[in-house]
Structure 1
Amino acid sequence: MTSTTFFRKPGGFFQSYRAALRQIRGIALLYTAILAVVLPLLMTLTVTQARSNFSYYSSEMPMEYYLSSQASSFLYSILSLFVLPLLWLFALIFTVSLFRYLHDKRSVDLFHSLPIRRETMLLSRLTAELTALVVPLLAMLIVCFAILLCFGIPMQAVQDGMLDPGLLWLRALFLIVNVFALIGLMIFFLICCGTVFDATVSTIAFCGGLPLLLALSLSYLGSALPGFCGSDLPRFVYEGMNPLIGAFSLANEPVVPWLLWWLGYGAVLLIAAVLLYRRRASEAAENAFAFPLPRVLIRFLVSACFGMCLGLLIHGIYSSFPFLLGALLGAFLSHLAIEMVYRRGVKNIWKTMPSLGVVAGLFVVFYLICATGCFGYTSRIPAVEDVKSVTFTTSFGQTHSASFFTGTPQSRNYYGMMEPIVTQKENVEQIVALHQDIIDSYHAMGPLYPMSEGSVFEVSYELKDGSKLRRRFYSAAFPEGFLQELDRISLLPEVIENTTDCFFLTQDSFDTVSFWNSKENDEYQSFTPNAEQRSALIEALQQDFLSGMPQSSQYDERWFEMTLSYQGDSSLPAFAAEDSLAASLFHFDPNASLYLDSGSYLISSQHYPNTTALLEKYGWIE
C-alpha cells in the first residue's frame, strides 16, 4: 500500500507545473491554432468584407464606426457561440490528460512515490491547464485589438453598437471564470471516481441531471400543486448550480456577482477535491469509486429524473393512470440501469435496494405535499384591505389590449401588454371572491387534489406592504359559472379603461383612418379627419368598449375593417398620465416618446353601434 503522506521539496510546484505543460504542449498548440483561425483570421476577413461593402449598406455612418459595429457583432457572437464550447472541449481534454494517472494503478503508484505533496501536484497541474487555456485566448484577443487599430477602428464605444473593449474583456473574463468552475467540477469527480469512465458519466449526469430534475419538478408542480406559478423559482437555481447551463444564458450579459459566484463555485470544489485527495488511497485506481458521495448523488439524480419523466409521460398519455405509480416504476428502472453502468453488470445489485427505497419514499412525500396543498400554499388568499391592486390574466385572450413601446418603429424598447388590473375595493372584492370559489372547488374534490390541466387563470396581488402573491389555476378545477363570472369582471369599466388601447389615444395619436369593406372586397379607402373628428372617433370607440367589450365582427352580415395610422405607420403615439396604472407598472422613460401598437378594428353596427353611427355621419362608410 502506498503512503498518503509526502515530503516537502522546495521548487516542487514549478517542476510539476513545467512537466504538466510539456505533457499537454501538443494539444495546447492545436488549441492555439484553432483560436488563431477563429479570432484574428476570421475577424480580419469580417472587417475587410465590411470595408468593401460599406458603400452599399451605410452612407450616413462614418466608416470607422461601421467597421467597429461589425467587429463588435462578430467578436461578441464568436465568444459565446464558438469560443465558449471550444474552451469546454479542451478543458475536458486537458483535465483527462493531466489527471488520468489517478485511474491507473501503475501510474498512481509512480506519481505518489515522487517527493511532492499531493495537493501541490494537483494545484500545479491545475495551474498548467489554466495557463494552456487562458494565455492563448488572451493573446489572440490582443492580436484582434491590434488588427482593429491597423484598420483605424476606435477603441471606445462612441455610440450604440460599436465595439466596447471593456465589455469585451468582461465577457472574456466571464468565460475564463466559468471554465475554471467547470474544471473544478471535473477534478472533483476525477478524485472521487476510480476510472475515467465513471468520472465522465458522473460529470455528465450531474450537469444534465440537476437542471432536468428542476425542470421536471416545476412541470409537475405546475399541474399537481394548485396555484403554483413556475416563475416562483429564482433564475439562480437553474443557472447557478451548473456551469454549462449558466454560461449559455449569461455569456451575453456578464455581471460582477456572477463572476464572483463562479470563482467561488470552482474554488469550493477544488478545496473539496484537495481534501479528498489527501485521503484517497492508491488502491482506488481502476475501481468504481474512491468515495461513495458521487454514486449516491448521481444515483439519486438519475432515478428522480427518469421517475419524474416517466410519471409525467404516462399521465400525459393516459390521465387516469396515477402519476405516483409511473414515477416509482421509472425510478426503479433507472436505478437498475445506473447501477449496472457503475458495477459493469448486475452482481450484488440487490444490495442497493435500500437506497431505492429512500428515493421511493421521497417521491411519496413529495406527492403528498403537492396533493394536499403544500401546507396551506394553495388556500392562501390575502384580505381585501391588504390589497393594493390585482392583476389577472387568462389564456382566452382579450381584444385590443394596449401594448406599449418607446423608441422608433425600427428600434423598439417594449414594455409589455397591459393586463386586466383593478384597484377599487369593490372590484378587488369580486376578484377575491372568484379566487375563493376556485379554492372551494378544490376542497370539494377530496383530501388529495388531482393533477390539473386546461386553460389558465392567473391572479397576482400587489399587497400594501410591497409584497406580491401570485397563483395560477387550470380550467379542470373551475367551478360552475366561473367563465361567465370572469367575463363579467373583464367588462368592469375600471378594467376596460386600464387595458384597452383606445383609452391611451388622443386626437394627435393618428392622422389617417382607413377602411376595407368586407362585402365589396375592394381596396382600402383612406380619410384624413380633422382634430374634432379624431376626438369624436376616440370617444365613440371608448363608449362602445365601456358598453360591453366588442367581440369580433367578422361573422356579422356586414362589417368594415378600420385601421388608424400616424404618418403612414400603425405605431401610434400614446399618452399615459404620470399617475396612471400603466405608468406605475411599466415606469416609462420620461425622455422617450411613448407608442402603442394598434390593431385593426372590425366594425359592425351590432358590436360597435356608436362608432358605426359616427362613421356613417361623416360619410366614411355607407
Structure 2
Amino acid sequence: MSRILPFYRNLLRRYRGSAFFYGALGFISLPVQYLLAILQNRGNPMDTDWISWTFTGPAMIYNGFAAFFFTALMLVAPLIMAANLFSYLHSKRAVDVYHALPLTRAELYAACCKAGITLIWMPLIFNFLLTALFSLMLPGASVGMILLELLCWMVITLSIFSITAFCAVQLGTDFDTVIFSLGLNGVFAAVYLMFIMLADGFIYGFSASDSVMRFAYRLSPVSLMIGRIALSSDSSAEYIAENNVSMLAWLLISLVVLLAGCWRYLYRRSEQAETVGEMGPLQVFMRSAASLLGGTGLGVILCAVFDVQPQENHFLSLFCIAVGSVIIYFIGDVILTRSVRSIPKALPVAVLTAAGVCVAVGAVMFDLFGIGRWVPAQEKVDEAKLYYYESRFSEQPSLPGQDPSVIAFEDPEAVALVIAAQQTQIDWHDKGETTYYGGSLRISYDMQDGRTVTRRYSNLAPATLEQLLKLEVDDELVTQQHPAFAADAEMIDGVSITNLLGNREEILSLSREQKESLLSALREDLLDQPLEELSDGTLGICTLSINYWFQWESDEYFERHPDLDPYTYATSRTLLTESYDRTLALLREFGAESSLENDWSTVKAAYAFPFNRGYSQNTVSQTNLDRVIQTQEDIQIFFDDRE
C-alpha cells in the first residue's frame, strides 16, 4: 500500500481537472436544477402535486433536464476516465515506462482503479450532498432516499469503470477499449431481448411476462439506472425493491470484474500495445455476440427485401440470417483490424460463427425445447389469471376493488379448466387448422416456484371456447366480474326493470333494507345460474338495471384535488332468466309484476343484425348487412322450438 500511494496521488493530480469538469457539469445538471424547481414552486406550498409532475425517480430529484443530462454524464464519465487511466497500456513507449516503475502489475492496476473511482465518486458525492441539503427546503422530501440514490450511482459508475478496465487490459488501442466497453455493458440485455422477440414471433402462444421484461433491463448497468430513474415514489414497492437488489448484484459483479481484470493484466504481453485484430477470449465473445445480434437483424431485413415470410419459410429465413451474420462479421473484422485484407483470413471463422448463429436462432424458430406445447401441471400452479375479453360480464362496469381486465382463479378445478382450454387450443393449432374464428386469450400462471409464465392465443378454436364457457359460471369469475359483489346498499342510487321486449319499464323506489335484500338475492342467483342456460340458451324475462353512485378514488387523492368530484355513476344491466327465482320473487314483492311480462302478440317483425364486438361495443354497422325479417308466426315458432 505504501508503494502505490505516491503513484495514486500523482494520478489524482494529473486527472483532477477531469474531476472538476465532471463535477461542474453534474452541479449544473442536478443540484442547480433541483433548487430552481423548488424556488419556482415555493409560492404555493399547499399544492404538492407539482412534485410528481416535475420530478421522477424513487428519490424524486430528477426533473426532465437532470434525467437526461445528468444520467448521460454519469454513464459516460466512468468509461472515459477508465480509458484515460489505462491508456498507457496502448502505447508501446508508455507501457515500457510504466512497467519499469518499482510497482508490480497488480499494484499498477490497483492504483489506477483507486484513482479512477476516487475521481468519479468525489464530485458525485459533493453534488448529491448539495441536493440533500436543498431538499430540506421541500416538505416531505426524503434525505434517506437521496442518499440511497447516491449509493446506486456509485454502484453503477463502479460497474461501468470495472468493465472498461477489464476491456483495457486485454486490448491494444483506446478505440477498441471504448468499443468493447460499450458493447459489453449492453450485450447481455440485448441478446436476452433478441431471443425473447424471436420466441414471441415463432413460438406458438409465447408471451413475455412482466417479470421477464423486468429481468431484461437489470442485465445492464446502463438500463438498470435508466429504469430506476423512470420509477417514481408512487411506483410499486416491489419494483423499487427489485432495483435495489439488482444494485447489490451489480456491486458484486463489479468487484468480480475488477479482480478478473487484475488477473488478466498479470498475463498481458507488453507487446500487445498498439496491436489490432487479436483474437483473445474477449474478442471472440464480442465478435460472436455482434454476429448474433447484427446478423439476425440484417437477416430479417433481407427477408423483408426478398419477400420471405419467416413464419412460413424457416430454412430460407435461416439462410438470410446466415448471410447477414457473415456480412456483420466481416464489417466488424474490418473495423477492428483497420484493413480489408483480413477478410480472406477471417472467412472460415465467419462461416463457423454464422453456423453457430443459425443453430441458436433455429432452436427458437423450430421450438426445439417444446416451449409452445408447454402446459403446467395443475398441482404446481398457485394461481391462473385469465385475460379474456369476451366473458359474459365484459360490458359490466367495474366498481372499486374490481379489475375488469383479469380474472384470477385459485380453485384447483377452475385452474384445471384453464389448463384444459390452453391444451385444447394448442392441439387445434398443431392440427394445422386455418379457419378463422376470432377471439383472443391471455393466460398467466403464478407457479409455486415463484415463476410467472404467460401465454397468449388468438383465433380461438370452438373447442377452446367450450372449455372457457365452463368458467363463466365459476364462483371466482362471477364474484370478481359482476359489480353486485363489490357493491353495498349505500352505493345503489336507482333501480329499474325493463321487460325483454323493451316496451315496459318501471323505476323502483326501494328502502335500504330492500336494496340489501335485492343485492343478496342477485348474488345468490348469479352464483347458482346453471351452465345449460349459457351453453344451450334460454329466454330472458327482463333486464335489471342498477345505478351505482360511488367514490372512484381514495380520500387522499381528493384531498390533493379538492376541485374534483369524488363520486361518479355506473349502471349495471343484468338479464334475468327463470333461474333467477330469488331476484324475480323480490321484484314481484316490490310491485314490478307488470315489467316481468312480455306480450309477444304485439310483435309484428324482428330484425337481426350481425354484431362484431371487436369492432365496436356500442355501435352496430349497417353496411353490407343481410337484414332478416321474421313474421309474428315465425317468431312464435322460434320460441316454441326453444322450449
C-alpha displacement at 1:399, in angstroms? 0.9
**1:126 matches 2:113:** yes
**1:457 matches 2:441:** yes
1: CA distance, partners of 2:153 / 2:495: 53
1: CA distance, partners of 2:369 / 2:114: 50
Q: For residues 358-386 of structure 1, what are the alpha-carbon distances to aligned partners after superposition, in whole Å with 9 as ceiling and x for unaligned?
A: 43333443455445654454445456677
Counterpart position of 1:283:
271
1: CA distance, partners of 2:58 / 2:269: 51
| TM-score for both structures, normalised by structure 1 | 0.72
Q: Is the 8 A contact 1:108 1:282 kept in 2?
A: yes
Q: For residue 457 of structure 2, what is the amino acid of its counterpart?
A: Y
Q: For residues 461-489 of structure 1, what are the alpha-carbon distances to aligned partners after superposition, in whole Å with 9 as ceiling and x for unaligned?
A: 567x777784625336x5x4245425523
Unaligned runs of 5+ in 1: 1-9, 154-160, 407-413, 518-525, 551-557, 574-594
> Which residue of 343, 346, 354 corresponds with 1:349?
343
Counterpart position of 2:458:
475
Counterpart position of 1:520:
none
> Which residue of 208, 225, 240 corresponds with 1:230?
208
**1:92 matches 2:86:** no
Q: Is the 8 A contact 1:302 1:334 kept in 2?
A: yes
Task: Percent identity, please.
Answer: 20
C-alpha displacement at 1:389, in angstroms? 5.7
Counterpart position of 1:109:
96
C-alpha displacement at 1:307, in angstroms? 3.0
Q: Is the 8 A contact 2:159 2:221 kept in 1?
A: yes
In the superposition, relative to structure 1, how do residues 128 and 444 fare at CA in structure 2: closer, same or farther (>3 Å)? same
C-alpha displacement at 1:356, in angstroms? 3.1
Q: Is the 8 A contact 1:192 1:291 kept in 2?
A: no
Counterpart position of 2:157:
179
C-alpha displacement at 1:510, in angstroms? 0.6
Counterpart position of 1:564:
548
Unaligned runs of 5+ in 2: 232-239, 499-506, 535-541, 556-565, 597-643
2: CA distance, partners of 1:22 / 1:13: 14
2: CA distance, partners of 1:381 / 1:142: 53
Instruction: Output aligned runs, 1:112-191, within 5 Å.
Output: 112-146=99-133, 162-191=140-169
> Which residue of 305, 319, 326 corresponds with 1:325?
319
Q: For residues 248-288 of structure 1, what are the alpha-carbon distances to aligned partners after superposition, in whole Å with 9 as ceiling and x for unaligned?
A: 22455366643432222112222222222222222222221
Counterpart position of 2:261:
273
2: CA distance, partners of 1:263 / 1:220: 31
Q: Is the 8 A contact 2:418 2:468 kept in 1?
A: no
Q: For residues 70-118 of structure 1, what are the alpha-carbon distances to aligned partners after superposition, in whole Å with 9 as ceiling and x for unaligned?
A: 9996536587655443222222232232222222223223323333222
> Which residue of 47, 51, 57 corresponds with 2:42?
51
Which secondary structure does the structure 2 equivalent of 1:137 belong to? Answer: helix
Q: For residues 175-199 of structure 1, what are the alpha-carbon distances to aligned partners after superposition, in whole Å with 9 as ceiling and x for unaligned?
A: 1011101100011112222112222
Counterpart position of 1:298:
286
Counterpart position of 2:604:
none
2: CA distance, partners of 1:472 / 1:16: 58
Instruction: Output aligned runs, 1:335-374, within 5 Å.
Output: 335-367=329-361, 369-370=363-364, 373-374=367-368
**1:508 matches 2:499:** no
Q: Is the 8 A contact 1:405 1:596 kept in 2?
A: no
Q: For residues 113-141 of structure 1, what are the alpha-carbon distances to aligned partners after superposition, in whole Å with 9 as ceiling and x for unaligned?
A: 33322222222122222222212222333
**1:26 matches 2:23:** no
In the superposition, relative to structure 1, how do residues 344 and 49 fare at CA in structure 2: closer, same or farther (>3 Å)? same
Q: For residues 118-173 of structure 1, what are the alpha-carbon distances to aligned partners after superposition, in whole Å with 9 as ceiling and x for unaligned?
A: 22222212222222221222233334445566x5x7xxxxxxx8222222212101
Q: For residue 336 of structure 1, what is the amino acid of its counterpart?
A: F
Q: Is the 8 A contact 2:298 2:324 kept in 1?
A: yes
**1:423 matches 2:406:** no
In the superposition, relative to structure 1, how do residues 248 and 468 fare at CA in structure 2: closer, same or farther (>3 Å)? closer
Q: Is the 8 A contact 1:513 1:562 kept in 2?
A: yes
Instruction: Give the paired residue count.
Output: 544
In the superposition, relative to structure 1, how do residues 321 and 598 fare at CA in structure 2: closer, same or farther (>3 Å)? farther
Instruction: Output aligned runs, 1:373-384, within 5 Å.
Output: 373-381=367-375
Q: For residues 311-342 of structure 1, what are the alpha-carbon distances to aligned partners after superposition, in whole Å with 9 as ceiling and x for unaligned?
A: 55647983534342332232222122211211
2: CA distance, partners of 1:117 / 1:597: 75
> Which residue of 71, 75, 84 corresponds with 2:61?
75
Q: For residue 246 of structure 1, what is the amino acid of its counterpart?
A: L
Which secondary structure does the structure 1 equivalent of 2:19 belong to? Answer: helix
> Which residue of 162, 170, 194 corresponds with 1:192?
170
C-alpha displacement at 1:214, in angstroms? 1.1
Q: For residue 548 of structure 2, what is the amino acid of its counterpart?
A: L
1: CA distance, partners of 2:174 / 2:378: 61
Q: Is the 8 A contact 1:216 1:305 kept in 2?
A: yes
1: CA distance, partners of 2:133 / 2:12: 28
In the superposition, relative to structure 1, how do residues 164 and 403 fare at CA in structure 2: closer, same or farther (>3 Å)? farther
Q: Is the 8 A contact 2:109 2:262 kept in 1?
A: yes
C-alpha displacement at 1:16, in angstroms? 1.7
In the superposition, relative to structure 1, how do residues 237 and 286 fare at CA in structure 2: closer, same or farther (>3 Å)? farther
- Name the Cα RMSD after superposition: 4.9
1: CA distance, partners of 2:216 / 2:478: 39
Instruction: Output aligned runs, 1:402-421, within 5 Å.
Output: 418-419=406-407, 421=409
C-alpha displacement at 1:444, in angstroms? 3.4
Q: For residues 555-601 of structure 1, what are the alpha-carbon distances to aligned partners after superposition, in whole Å with 9 as ceiling and x for unaligned?
A: xxx999975212xx34699xxxxxxxxxxxxxxxxxxxxx9998544
Counterpart position of 1:399:
394
C-alpha displacement at 1:349, in angstroms? 1.6
C-alpha displacement at 1:539, in angstroms? 5.8
2: CA distance, partners of 1:193 / 1:329: 28
> Which residue of 530, 554, 570 corresponds with 2:511?
530
Which secondary structure does the structure 2 equivalent of 1:51 belong to? Answer: coil
1: CA distance, partners of 2:192 / 2:320: 18
2: CA distance, partners of 1:507 / 1:271: 64
Which secondary structure does the structure 2 equivalent of 1:474 belong to? Answer: strand
1: CA distance, partners of 2:453 / 2:331: 40
Q: Single out whichever of 10-19 and 363-372 deviates more from structure 2.
A: 363-372
Q: Single out whichever of 376-385 and 282-291 deviates more from structure 2.
A: 376-385
In the superposition, relative to structure 1, how do residues 405 and 503 fare at CA in structure 2: closer, same or farther (>3 Å)? closer
2: CA distance, partners of 1:71 / 1:346: 47
